[in-house]
Amino acid sequence: MPLIRNIVQADYSVVEELLYSNHLGDGRFYDPDGPDVVVAELNGSVVGVAEFQLHCDFGHDEGREAHPGEQTFISAMAVALTGRREGLGRALLTEIARRAQKAGDTFLGPGAAGRRRRG
């Protein structure tokens, strides 16, 4: 069973490499002031990561009054090859959904301005 937890400074280089190896990073240093981040740890190693942002309200910001209330958007998710088929992606998504529900967000989805896989 994976452990899903908040990122800590000791994880930064592993997360950078994980995102980069999945074509979701550009090799720059990890930005701790960026989005919220959770990591998946399996057997003591970080093998998954997800970046997300709680309390987005893009619909109303764009003048769409009928848009649902505050949302949570996932901007990036990656799992190392060694951790695939272990339920890590599902566990990361479940944790983000739990946090979104606790925060009162009414929608969970992929962020339009999030990282995109290239290639």
Task: List pLDDT tens digits, range 18-75.
Answer: 888 888 876 666 677 778 899 999 889 999 999 888 877 665 556 566 665 677 888 8
Sign of the Cα pseudo-torsion (52, 57, 59, 62, in order):
negative
Strand-pair category, 107-110 with 71-79: parallel
Q: Is 119 helix (H, G, I), strand (E, B) or coil?
A: coil
pLDDT in tens, 61-111: 565 666 656 778 888 888 988 778 878 888 999 999 899 888 887 777 775
Q: Is 24 helix (H, G, I), strand (E, B) or coil?
A: coil
